[in-house]
Structure 1
Amino acid sequence: MITIANEWLQATISPIGAELRSLKRQHDNHEYLWNANPRYWAKTSPVLFPIVGALKDDTYYYRGRAYRLPRHGFAREKSFDGKLLSPTEAVFTLTDSEETRTVYPFAFQLMLRYRLDGHALTCRYEVHNPSDSQPLFFSIGGHPAFSALAENGGPAYTDYFLEFPDDDALLCHKLEGNLISERKETILLDKRHRLPLRYELFYADALVLKTLQSNTITLGNVINDRGILFHHDGFPYFGIWAAKGADFVCLEPWCGIADHIGHNQQLEEKEGMQHLSGGDNWSRSWAVTCF
């Protein structure tokens, strides 16, 4: 584990998957992340790469050859090379290998940079195509799980809400067998642009959004003033999810999305796929401000 810290926050990241495992407030040790209870979900903030969501039949085709990848790809299970750059910044690097090329025939360098600045943590994804001539096709996304645990004398799960300042409703694309279906559902927000949390919101899997207007989302509650402000830019898709009956909510900015049920499985024609020419670089970031 690598830990970064400043006067206000402490963050701990595992080299396995470059996964953020803890984000605590210094003065009272309050934990903002889900506790990874394996009864519900044993992860906290996996990185989704080189695909987001599921492939049709867990298979894609590239240049006439079939390849198989599990839902959300392989990076979340790989060992990254982690380095502490300063007391408040760390970087984690994953590169292609003989093993990755059997399921994903591309040269790549993936870096995750975590930095603390005041009351905020920023996670930046950086992708480099080291090839001189071959393109790199990839998707990438975040999956951080924020705690909405019931506290003694504090909020219950149904006391928490998500606030979307620039949206009046959420247009959700329904999943069927982990794939995007033709069905859609509109969830109306209240007058304060809030969506109260309730377990049944996620009984049919994630809320998948393609038209979210808000690039900031507040997770708060009606009992006390604890919460987070989640900021994301440049991610065309967004997911919101929790395991059944679990006291957390994932806020998931995506550059990529699960296959449509009618997709032809050609990687170059996959919705949301990012394309990098040889030698090029790409980056996106999200940030969470804790209060």
Structure 2
Amino acid sequence: MIILENTKIYASFSAKGGELQSLKHKKTGLEYLWSGNPEYWGKFSPILFPIVGGLKDNTYYFKDQAYTLPRHGFARDREFKVDQISETEILFTLEHDEESLKVYPFHFRLGLRYQLTEQGISCSYEVANTGAEQLWFSIGGHPAFAVPLTEGLTYTDYYLQFNKDQQLVSNKIHHDLIDDETESILLKDGQLPLKHELFYEDALVFKQLQSDCISIKSRKDTHGLDFQFSDFPFFGIWSAKDADFVCLEPWCGIADGIHHQQHLEQKEGILSLNPQEEWTRNWKVTCF
């Protein structure tokens, strides 16, 4: 386990997946991240790369060749190199190798840079095209936050506060693919009350979210968190059935649509980088 800490925040990580696995506030002793209980879901905050969500038949085509990838790609299950820059900053890196080239024929470098802030943590995704041809990719976050945060409260004591939305439009998921059918959710004062039933049919998936900050709050407690993100065109909110967490997932990319023809360059939300180009995005958690 790899540790970062400052006077107020403690965070721990695994080199497998470059995954954040604990985020604690020292003064209150509160753990803000999900426990990773494998009875429900054995991950904490995986990276989604080089795809987000599922592929139709788990297959995509590039230059007339078929490739197979599991849902959310392979990076979350790979061992990252570790470069601990300071007591409060760390960079995990993953590069293409013989195994990755069999399923994803691109030369890349993926960096996950974590920096502690005064009251939380910042996570930056850094993608570089290290090859001689165009790089096609999607990327996203999947951090799971503990709900309830405080002992004695329940899941339904909490709500999500959206800073800019008063109505959400969620695309249905059908066999891991994005359906054309949508559902509208009206918010009162920008608030979505949490209940386990919200996620019984899989994640809530948004293509037109206006907010760039979603907070986890409770009227019965002063503790919660702000989750800030920008320039992520898609967003998912999910929990395993009846589990005490909620995932806030900023995405650059999305699962295949039910009508997708499976060509990688035509995939909705796909990004591309020219040779030697670099790209970055960031999300941040502030604990209170």
Smaller-chain TM-score bracket: over 0.9
Q: For structure 2, list consecutive stretches of 5 or more residues without a partner in the other structure.
A: none
1:166 corresponds to: 164
Question: Structure 1 residues 134, 245: closer, same or farther in 2, change over 3 A?
Answer: same
Q: Percent identity?
A: 52
Deviations 1:103-154 (A, max 9, x none): 00000000000001200200000000011x30100000000000003754x3
1:147 corresponds to: 146
> Structure 2 counterpart of 1:239, which letter?
G
Match of 1:226 among 223, 227, 237: 223
- 1:22 counterpart = 2:22: yes
Match of 2:198 among 191, 196, 201: 201
2:104 corresponds to: 104
Q: Following the alignment from structure 1 to structure 2, what is the Cα–Cα distance between the partners of residues 243 and 275?
A: 32
1:157 corresponds to: 155
1:40 corresponds to: 40
Q: Which of structure 1's runs of 4+ aligned residues deviate more than 6 A?
A: none
- The TM-score, its normalising length taken from structure 2, stands at 0.99
Question: Structure 1 residues 150, 84: closer, same or farther in 2, change over 3 A?
Answer: closer
Q: Following the alignment from structure 1 to structure 2, what is the Cα–Cα distance between the partners of residues 165 and 113?
A: 26
- The TM-score, its normalising length taken from structure 1, stands at 0.98
> Structure 2 counterpart of 1:174, which letter?
K
Q: Following the alignment from structure 1 to structure 2, what is the Cα–Cα distance between the partners of residues 74 and 29?
A: 33
Q: Following the alignment from structure 1 to structure 2, what is the Cα–Cα distance between the partners of residues 38 and 6?
A: 30
Q: Following the alignment from structure 2 to structure 1, what is the Cα–Cα distance between the partners of residues 48 and 68?
A: 15
Deviations 1:134-188 (A, max 9, x none): 0100000000000003754x32100010001211111000000000011100011
Q: Following the alignment from structure 2 to structure 1, what is the Cα–Cα distance between the partners of residues 122 and 98?
A: 31
Q: Following the alignment from structure 2 to structure 1, what is the Cα–Cα distance between the partners of residues 6 and 111?
A: 22
| Alignment check: 8 A CA contact 2:136 2:271 kept | yes
- 1:267 counterpart = 2:264: yes
Q: Following the alignment from structure 1 to structure 2, what is the Cα–Cα distance between the partners of residues 50 and 278?
A: 17
Q: Following the alignment from structure 2 to structure 1, what is the Cα–Cα distance between the partners of residues 187 and 39?
A: 31
Greater Cα offset, 66-75 or 1-10: 1-10
1:57 corresponds to: 57
Deviations 1:66-108 (A, max 9, x none): 0000000000000000121001000000000000000000000
> Structure 2 counterpart of 1:212, which letter?
L
Q: How many residues align?
A: 288
Q: Secondary structure at the match of 2:51?
A: coil
Q: Following the alignment from structure 1 to structure 2, what is the Cα–Cα distance between the partners of residues 80 and 98?
A: 15
| Alignment check: 8 A CA contact 2:30 2:150 kept | no
1:175 corresponds to: 173
| Alignment check: 8 A CA contact 1:51 1:73 kept | yes
Q: Following the alignment from structure 2 to structure 1, what is the Cα–Cα distance between the partners of residues 54 and 258?
A: 10
| Alignment check: 8 A CA contact 1:33 1:147 kept | yes
Deviations 1:206-229 (A, max 9, x none): 000001001001101121111000
Per the TM alignment, residue 28 of structure 1 is displaced from its structure 2 partner at its CA by 3.1
1:289 corresponds to: 286
- 1:76 counterpart = 2:76: yes
Q: For structure 1, list consecutive stretches of 5 or more residues without a partner in the other structure.
A: none
Q: Following the alignment from structure 2 to structure 1, what is the Cα–Cα distance between the partners of residues 221 and 195?
A: 18
| Alignment check: 8 A CA contact 2:149 2:223 kept | no
| Alignment check: 8 A CA contact 1:10 1:25 kept | yes
> Structure 1 counterpart of 2:135, which letter?
L
| Alignment check: 8 A CA contact 2:163 2:190 kept | yes
Per the TM alignment, residue 29 of structure 1 is displaced from its structure 2 partner at its CA by 2.1
Deviations 1:178-202 (A, max 9, x none): 0001110001111x21000000000
RMSD across aligned C-alpha pairs, in angstroms? 0.9
| Alignment check: 8 A CA contact 2:139 2:252 kept | yes
